[in-house]
Structure 1
Amino acid sequence: MVAVWYKQLFTNGAPEEAKMIFDGIIEQISELMVDPFGKYLVQKLLQKCDGQQMMHIICEITKLPGQLIQVACDMHGSFVVRKMINRINTPAEAYMIVSSLSPGAVTLMMDAHGSYLAQRCLEKLSPQNKKFLLDAAIKYCFGLARGCHSCRILNLCIDNANEDQRDELLYNITSRSSALDLSRHQYGNYVIQHILGLKVMWATDNILDQLEGHNGYLSMQQCSSNVVEKCIKAAQQPRRLKIIQDLINYPKLHHLLHDMYGNYVIQTALRQCENDTLCAALIGAIEEHAASLRKNVYGKRILSTIRCLKC
């Protein structure tokens, strides 16, 4: 409650009283930032302080290596540091904060609270000042794509990168076997879906190349089934037809048609197939299992989609 009283005094008191409060708490500023009540006082300081005081605050919270990272990964501290990012007015302020955050870029992106600061940096900082996050994303993209919080930040890095940075990110994520592994991952699949949505055809083709021959069993997994659906929608017609042919030739098509995830992939394939011959082949392959599909809740959905297409 003392912090609340100080906040009121700092807001409504005389200038000399505000200065006295500032001088009295500046050495404990880091502790106040992570305090559930103290954070509101620091927020008020950031709103009211002049340029010299702002620099004094930044110097205090960055004087120890890793100190700002620790504050930024705290539930209360993250809130205050985000306010500080909004308040940056000079290159010197930006340089000091970025220099202190840079060694812990990956830690920030993977942390529940730090990830929100990483997002704020991507949104508010200049291209040069947010480069530390993009460099970390390029280097550690596979691990970040598999993180609960960092997968979202990785997608934001892709969106906020310049063309060269974006291409390097997309190449690292979609090269070798990364795309196949991430498609099956509970968080990585969101990154692959995001890339498919960008409609960068060379990156899409890299993903399609890796998933080729695997689309059948991927369609029966919760995470990767969404990726296969996205592939069908994002691929150009020749590649889309190849995916559909992959599904028709899948040895366990019977299981795929009755599957709680696979049925959605089949429905998408039916709606997206623009080749009459292949569409007829797909429908024919499905109708071979019509008797059992009529007795299955997921199979009924596929048969209903076929009826709609024939109308």
Structure 2
Amino acid sequence: MEDTSASAGDFKGKVLSEAMNQDGCEFLEQKLLGMKPEDIQMIYSEVKSHVSLLMMDGFGSNVIQMLFAVCDDEQMEDMVFSLTVDAGLLLAICLDSQGSQSMLKLIHCLTTWHLVLCLVVPLKEITLQLATHPIGSNVIRGCFLAFKAYSEPILVKIAENFLPIALNETGSALLQDIVKKDITVRAQNRLVASILGNIKYLSKDQFGSLLVKHFLGLELEYLPVYLIENLNEQFVCMVMDEYACNVVKKLLVVAEETQRLEIINSIINDPYLPHVLQNPYGYSFLQFAKECSMGSVRQTLNHLLQRPDHLHGQCPENK
């Protein structure tokens, strides 16, 4: 805007329309940080009933994000309430590209636990929709990054809807990302418990298996122990599955030597070993296991892999 001498008062009565055009947006962005409280109040009073509209507008989103940064707690509480009173509206904002960016700014501008909970509690009711959406999932990420311990209500909802989230491409990536954040031990344990409770379903799914492998990479000592104890009789079937095979491979990598031998022995001593040798994923697993082994076990695997009587690359009918 060329008229740099303009003041906030010049926009009285037309803040909303000016915020949604390029010139007015640029002026308000430049002036908001240095405005007096009474000028901020004037702007706030004119847009407070249109916060959701501005958050999803190409120009208005810039203005409302700047307003979030300068409003006081009372003003912020009023805006949070206006956004969360309708779950459908809140969802629409979070799934919108501009709206989600505005929501992330709002999240980082909440300065008290009361304001945080005013937003987090309503967000938990739409956690499933957000967690499985490419744009909406960023809002969940933002909550865990900014709030940590206060994200517990959202984590509870994730646990309640764990499989639909974990078996979804976006949801699996979100869960992997969440555990990379500086989350509480309690939060990490809740996620691990959800994985262990659904391990058989997750391991045989494209995206679920990626999640299991990611958690195995965290090097939590109890994970390999639990998996070996609970999946010992399932390993022979798992290594013949496209995705579960990679989970068992990852388990070999992170397991201790005695645990690794237990896994391999459970497979090569199983009556269904011939099926493993005939299965492309099973055969690939045995090759991988050989590289992870030493001594007599390695020799046994080498002998099995060189046997001329198995049919490479053919899957058993009851795979």
TM over 0.5: yes
CA distance in 2, matches of 1:172, 1:27: 41
CA distance in 2, matches of 1:46, 1:213: 56
Partner of 1:251, secondary structure, is: helix
Distance 1:289 1:214, change over 3 A: farther
- Residue 39 of structure 1 corresponds to 61
CA distance in 1, matches of 2:301, 2:187: 41
**Distance apart, 1:266 and its partner CA:** 3.0
Q: How many residues align?
A: 287
- Say whether residues 1:8 and 2:26 are aligned partners: yes
**Distance apart, 1:157 and its partner CA:** 4.7
**Distance apart, 1:29 and its partner CA:** 1.3
Q: Is 1:215–1:246's contact at 8 Å kept on the other side of the alignment? A: yes
- Residue 302 of structure 2 corresponds to 283
Aligned with residue 258 of structure 2, among 217, 238, 255: 238
Q: Is 2:56–2:93's contact at 8 Å kept on the other side of the alignment? A: yes
Q: Report the residue type matching 2:123 in the other structure.
A: L
Deviations 1:253-303 (A, max 9, x none): 4324xx2x45543343122113x111111111112239987xx9xxxxxxx
- Residue 188 of structure 1 corresponds to 208
**Distance apart, 1:236 and its partner CA:** 2.4
CA distance in 2, matches of 1:45, 1:100: 22
Distance 1:64 1:287, change over 3 A: closer
Q: Report the residue type matching 1:43 in the other structure.
A: Q
Q: Is 2:179–2:188's contact at 8 Å kept on the other side of the alignment? A: yes
CA distance in 2, matches of 1:173, 1:12: 48
| RMSD (CA atoms) | 3.0
Aligned with residue 173 of structure 2, among 149, 152, 157: 152
Q: Percent identity?
A: 22
Q: Which runs of 5+ in 2 are unaligned?
A: 1-17, 314-319
**Distance apart, 1:114 and its partner CA:** 1.6
Q: Report the residue type matching 1:252 in the other structure.
A: H
Deviations 1:112-164 (A, max 9, x none): 2221111111111041x111122223333233221222223333455555334
CA distance in 2, matches of 1:206, 1:113: 35
CA distance in 1, matches of 2:40, 2:70: 9
Matches within 5 A, 1:106-117: 106-117=128-139
- Say whether residues 1:254 and 2:277 are aligned partners: yes
**Distance apart, 1:18 and its partner CA:** 5.9
Q: Report the residue type matching 2:297 in the other structure.
A: L
Q: Which runs of 5+ in 1 are unaligned?
A: 297-311
Q: Report the residue type matching 1:4 in the other structure.
A: Q
CA distance in 1, matches of 2:117, 2:193: 30
CA distance in 2, matches of 1:90, 1:162: 19
- Residue 76 of structure 1 corresponds to 98
CA distance in 1, matches of 2:194, 2:100: 30
